[in-house]
Amino acid sequence: MNDQHSTSDAAAAASEDCGCAPTPAESRAFWKDRSVTRRSALTFGALSVVALSAFGVSSGVTAAYAASYPSWDDVQNAMNNESAKAAEVTRIEGLIQSLTQRVADAQAKAVLAGEEYNAAQLAYFDAIAVAEELQSKADEQAVAADDATKKAAQLAAQLYRNGGDDTALELFFAGSADNADQLLSRLGTMDKVYQYNQTVHDNAVAARNSAQQLTDQAVVARTERDRLQQIAEQKMIEAQAAADAAQAALDEQSANLATMQAQLSALKDATATTVAGYKEGVRVAEEERKRREAAEAAAAAAGNGGGGGGVGGSPGSGGWVRPHGGHRSAGFGPRPKPCAACSGYHYGVDLANGCGAAIYAAQSGTVDYAGPRGNYGNYIRIQHGGGISSGYAHIRDGGFAVRSGSYVNSGQVIAYAGNTGASVGCHLHFEVYINGAYTNPITFLADRGVSV
């Protein structure tokens, strides 16, 4: 399923799915936290240049494009001449159309890059499973080989202690010369003993060879796993650059579209309404937007209880907290697919607390990805240090409260739950990674005093 930050049609579709279409407050929330380190700022700057060039936007386009926006003085002057007015109307309509198209194109590229990142990440996860399975089989065969070798050695030692073949024969023949049936029986038993000894030896050799072959295959699988991990990380960097470019285009649209629409209305107005009146309308609308955002933020902060389950943000030990309120709707491991596009192996835990409920950073750290990620929908990854990171998926469109490069504190609101990607209802899909590999987040958090 797609999870692109979309135009109004896609937003309406999202609203029908889970009642969580983006609000203006959420559309801007992605950029609220600008607390980046000098290093991350430099990195982001470098990636932005790469992103803009890679996704068809040069580093100088934004400034040049912004400089072409009309001022209210331009509108006022054009209103004094019909031909100038017509030209200005055409100019503004073209700018609006161009700006809207640029946003749509950038978002489509971000979605595509996110899908490629997700495919690469899941290929890496699959490679982890293959390598672990081969190593597990190799270990089993090594144990079997050791057991078979011990049995063969024990039989050989027993025969040696009995004095070798002659002593063994004497043992079998003793007191049996007067009973042919008993002698034949003991001869048969003797033959079976030697056959068994040979079988045990052959089994030990076969198990040892199998263990070595599986170990060799496991080494190859781990090499492939590591290669795929590098590809996934590179795809993540590219996807983040695309997401940043899309957000920059959306920000530019948000900053200029309302003004240009008001300017266009002023130019087309045949009444005596003044430019000052339209400017005042833009100012009032902006103040109303800010008021609404503040009210929505306060409501979201106040409305994040347990939802019938655990309380989001409740602390454990070592700074770890529960990343979302509500009940556990799906656990970790193999499962029946809940939807056609959903995975048959669940790499995380699902917590359901309702559409728009706050998602908290499970631990302090640095956000190194915030953007679309294929079936995961809108997704955030946080690096906590020591090789440990966490992932947060199915965030609602416009529901980011942090951006890539942001440092977040444990328990800080980073996003709002949604139904993006391959999802069957608003919830948080939460994952924990150790050195990039998945682990069971339920037991991981339980070991740190957090119940999910």
Residue 180 has pLDDT above 90, yes or no: no
Whether 130 has a pLDDT exceeding 80, the answer reads: yes
Phi (first) and psi of residue 426, to 5 degrees: -65, 125
pLDDT band at 272 (very low <50, low <70, confident <90, very high): low
Q: Which of 129-138, 188-197, 332-341 comes out lowest in average pLDDT? A: 188-197
Q: What is the pLDDT of residue 211?
A: 86
Between CA 333 and CA 335, with CA 334 as vertex, the angle to 5 degrees is 115
| Contact (CB, 8 A) for 26 and 396 | yes
Four-residue CA torsion sign, 364, 321, 420, 11: negative
What pLDDT is attached to residue 119?
94
Residues forming a β-bridge with 400: 415
pLDDT greater than 60 at residue 279: yes
Q: What is the CA radius of gyration of the chain?
A: 34
What is the average per-residue pLDDT within 106-116? 94
Give the pair of three-digit tokens for residue 267.
Answer: 């130019």
pLDDT band at 380 (very low <50, low <70, confident <90, very high): very high
For position 435, what pLDDT does the model report?
Answer: 94
Would you give the distance in Å from CA 156 to the centre of its chain? 57
Residue in 249, 273, 208 with CA at minimum distance from that of residue 107: 249
Confidence grade of residue 233 (pLDDT, cut at 50, 70, 90) = very high
* Closest to 256 (Cα-Cα) out of 103, 125, 140, 368: 103
pLDDT at residue 264 greater than cutoff 50: yes
pLDDT of residue 367: 97
406 forms beta bridges with 36
The mean of the pLDDT values for the chain is 78
* Banded model confidence at residue 21, pLDDT cuts 50, 70, 90: very low
pLDDT at 103: 93
The arithmetic mean of pLDDT across residues 33-59, rounded, is 36
- Residue recorded with tokens 């940043």: 244
Question: Predicted confidence band at 449 (pLDDT cuts at 50, 70, 90)?
Answer: very high
Question: Lowest-confidence range among 160-164, 316-320, 403-407?
Answer: 160-164
So what's the pLDDT on residue 68? 82
Residues 6+ apart with CB under 8 A from 217: 134, 138
HSE toward the beta carbon, residue 398, CA cutoff 13 A: 22
Rounded mean pLDDT, 407-422: 95
Lowest mean pLDDT among 141-150, 220-229, 233-242, 413-422: 141-150
Cα separations in angstroms, 151 against 126, 147, 210: 38, 6, 18
Phi/psi at 297 (5° precision): -65, -40
Between CA 259 and CA 365 the distance in angstroms is 38
pLDDT at 292 over 90: no
- Range of weakest confidence among 107-111, 246-250, 304-308: 304-308
Per the model's pLDDT, the better-predicted residue between 19 and 212 turns out to be 212
Tokens of 310: 């655990």
Specify the higher pLDDT residue, 438 or 168. Answer: 438
Which letter does DSSP use for residue 396 in this model? E
Q: Which residues sit opposite 214 in a β-bridge? A: none
How does residue 245 score in pLDDT terms, banded at 50, 70 and 90?
A: very high
- Higher pLDDT, residue 376 or 163: 376
Task: Name the band, by pLDDT with cuts 50, 70 and 90, for residue 52.
Answer: very low
What does the block give as tokens for 218? 């496991």
CA–CA gap between residue 185 and residue 188 (Å, rounded): 5
Residue-wise pLDDT for 335-365, tens only, equals 888 888 888 889 999 999 999 999 999 999 9
Contact 365, 389 (CB under 8 A): yes
DSSP code of residue 374: G
- Indicate the pLDDT class of residue 25, thresholds 50, 70 and 90: very low
Specify the pLDDT at position 397.
Answer: 93
Asked whether residue 436 carries a pLDDT value surpassing 50, the answer given is yes
pLDDT of residue 352: 94
pTM for this model (two decimals): 0.70
DSSP annotation of 335 reads -
For 296, other C-beta atoms within 10 Å of its C-beta total 17
Q: Given this model, what pLDDT does residue 141 score?
A: 87
User: Is the pLDDT score of 46 beyond 90?
Assistant: no
- What distance lies between CA 236 and its chain's CA centroid? 10
Q: Is 108 left (phi over 0), alpha (psi -120 to 50) or beta?
A: alpha
Q: Which residue has the higher pLDDT, 155 or 253?
A: 253
